[in-house]
Structure formats: structure tokens, C-alpha cells
Amino acid sequence: MVVLLCQQLFGIPLFSDRNLTVQSARASEKTASGEAVLKPRLLQDGNLGMVVFMLEGKDKSEEEWKDALRQMHSWGVKIVEIGQIAWADTETEPGKYDWTYAKKVLKINKEEDLGFVFVADIGMFINPGLNGKPKLPKHLKNLPFDDPQVIKALSDLYKSFFDLEGSQSLKYLFQHFENADDSFKKKEADRARVKKLLKKSFIAAKKIRPDIKTGVCIESYKDPHYPAHMIKDWNTDIDTDVLPVISFGPNHFEKNAEADFEKLLKLAAGKPIALNEFWYHSSKKADSSPEKQAQFVKEMYALLKKHHRDIEFATWYEYKDLGWFTANFIGAYLSVICLNPLLAGVFKDRMGSCGMIDNKGKEKPALKVWKEEARKYYEFREKEKKERKIQN
């Protein structure tokens, strides 16, 4: 989720109150009488994480990264997203890569022995126009997406990442697919070519790192935000390990978080789900408050606990409110491309206020809830793991 386009920036449905109880995963089998019985799935990783400086990360100093990672470690965060990384910006010349951003993070994690697991959120669909059009590096832009040279180049990009010092802590390799589906309307041949490119490059990556888990982060800027055809095209057909959905937050809910997650479970067809960037803002100017944000965090933990066997991990967007310049710059940019001057303030007040701390470093009420619920969540999972061992 880089930003939300015009039609997404209004309306904030909240959860309805309900009793959430722990239940088994959706995988099922039938008894001789035909009755469906839930079949327990092996526990997924279920790690809790955050996105850090997503829109500013490349410009942050090593000291700023150290402070952020140390803080998150103390909050019970175990997984961090390195993203979003645009392929075209990283490979500026054939075979030459700028991994400055990732190098800082991996280096600090190793030197400080923080033990973070990382998600690499890389994409050819990350571009300033937010129109979902694929953007290949300059030396490849005139080639078909499934040209062997393009497939090899993307595979080499992944290999280059794996060669970085500290990259053993990288566990998830995702392609970022924000709003990309619309770019293939009436271009079915290109859709097939990109699917082939992603599938073959993921296969090449797993030959180097068999432990890596793959996924294509999906999000549509229209309702529904996680349509069945996108899940099929970009995860089921490509045979990814995980189904990552971007921006699981109030502007995306058709009904509420619980009902929408139940729908996702059916569409995932047994594939574990990564809530890659769930969020809630705290600005009173955007019809919210720090207290509403804290309540949302509590409700999301109830959902995570209930569905923990179906959730690979969940990351919060984001660690800290956007800086004044970044929030205002992106808001102004959006207002121009969407021809809506009101968006400048809406973006700043909504997507700029999702952090657990404000842009001056002051903790919000949501952080206190996060830390307490994270502690209880991990205690719950450890208890269940022990009980499972005893039963076995």
C-alpha cells in the first residue's frame, strides 16, 4: 500500500462487537456420514510485525534505523517489511543494484542481534503514477515480460538480494502488485506473460533459497479490494506459498474485519494469509482519534488469535507517523493526479497518522495496547504449541 486513491479515502466502518473465540483452521474433511469436520492445520509462523519508514526508508540514516529497530524489538515485533522496493530504481544498469536501503536494515539486525525476520516487498508495479502499470528497468522495457532475458534479470535481482550480508534473516519474497490488475484489461496476453515471469522467477529464487516463502501482494483500488480473480491469477495460478493482502484496514472493509477475513479464507482455498500492512489512523481531522486507533488494535488482536492457524503473519502500517514533508508532498501529488485538491489534507490526516508513535516520537494509546496484546498473543501460541506436542 503506497497510498490510497481518490475513492478510498472516505468512510471508516468499524468492527461490530462480538465474542471472538479460538477455532481451528478451515481445512476440513468429511466423516462417513458426510458431516464436515475441521482438520487442524500445522501452526503457521504467526509473527507480528511492522512496516518502518515505508515511504521514507531509503533516506533514513543508519542511526534512525537503529533507533526504530531497537524500539520495535522492545515492543514484541518479530517481523519487518523491507519495502517497497521498485525493481526499476534498484537495477539502474544491467546487473548493477542499489541495495543501500536493505543493506542498512540487514546489517543492523545482524550486528545488534535483534533476531528480526524480514519480508522483501519488491515490485515492477511500484511507480509514482500509482496506475498499476508495470515498470521494468530501462534496458528491459522494450522486451516482452516473458522474454528469457527478463526472466533471468528478475531471477538475478533476487539472487543479488540473497547475496547481501545478513540476508539469511530474509524469509519472505513478495512481489508488490498494488492496483496492477487494471493495467491488463484488454491485454490478456500481457497478463499471461507477467504470470509466467513471476512464476519462473520465484522457482529460480527457491532453487537458491528453498526456505524462502513467496507471494504476490494484491490490492485493488475498487470494491472489492481483494477480488477472487486477483487471488487466482496472482497467487493460486503462480503457486505461491502465501497469499499476502495489502492494506487490511477500515477503508477496505466491505462489512467489517471479521466478515472480510472469513471471505478471504474461502478465496484463499487453504493457502495461509499474510495481512501485509493492516492499519488504522488516529487523526481527529479524519474522523478518528487515538482511542479509536487503540480499540482497533485490540479488535485486530482478537481476530489474529481466532484465526492464528490461517495467518502467516501480520504487519502494522506503520511504526511512526509520516513526517510533515512526506505527508504533505504525497498528499499534494495525489491531489494533482486525482484532480481533487481536497486529497492533500485527507492523505496527510488519514494515511499520515497510522503510526504507533507520532512523528515527534510520542507514544500513542495504541502502542500500549499493542505491547500488552502482543505479549498475550505469543503466550497463547506457545501454550498451544506445548499442548499440541503433548497430544502428539
pLDDT of residue 41: 54
- So where are the chain's domains? 37-320+355-391
Count, residues in the chain = 392
The alpha carbon dihedral of 317, 319, 315, 175 has a sign of: positive
pLDDT of residue 19: 34
Q: How many of the other CB atoms lie within 10 Å of CB of 361?
A: 11
**Poorest-confidence range of 1-5, 117-121, 265-269, 325-329?**
1-5
pLDDT of residue 43: 61
Q: Which CATH superfamily is domain 37-320+355-391 in?
A: Glycosidases (3.20.20.80)
C-alpha cell at 138: 530501462
Q: List the beta bridge partners of residue 194.
A: none
In percent, the amount of the chain with pLDDT more than 90 equals: 55
Read off the pLDDT of each residue in 234-261 and give the average, rounded to a whole number: 92
Task: Please say whether the beta carbons of 328 and 348 come within 8 A.
Answer: yes
Contacts of 163 (CB under 8 A, 6+ apart): none
pLDDT of residue 101: 85
Q: Half-sphere exposure of 48 toward its Cβ, with a 13 Å CA cutoff?
A: 25
3-state SS class at 249:
coil
The alpha carbon dihedral of 22, 367, 171, 52 has a sign of: positive
In percent, the amount of the chain with pLDDT more than 70 equals: 85
Q: With DSSP H G I counted as helix, E B as strand and the rest as coil, what are the percentages for the chain, rounded to 5?
A: 45, 15, 40
Band the pLDDT of 9: cuts 50, 70, 90: very low
**pLDDT over 50 (residue 233):** yes
pLDDT of residue 139: 95
Closest listed residue to residue 318, CA positions, set 8, 53, 122: 53
Read off the pLDDT of each residue in 21-30 and give the average, rounded to a whole number: 38
Please state, in angstroms and rounded to a whole number, the distance separating the CA atoms of residues 309 and 69: 27
pLDDT tens figures, 175-230: 987 777 777 888 899 999 999 999 999 999 999 999 999 999 998 878 888 999 99
**pLDDT over 60 (residue 336):** yes
Q: Count H helices, E strands: the chain? A: 11, 12
Please state, in angstroms and rounded to a whole number, the distance separating the CA atoms of residues 319 and 81: 11
Closest listed residue to residue 313, CA positions, set 150, 169, 117: 117
pLDDT of residue 2: 37
**pLDDT over 70 (residue 315):** yes
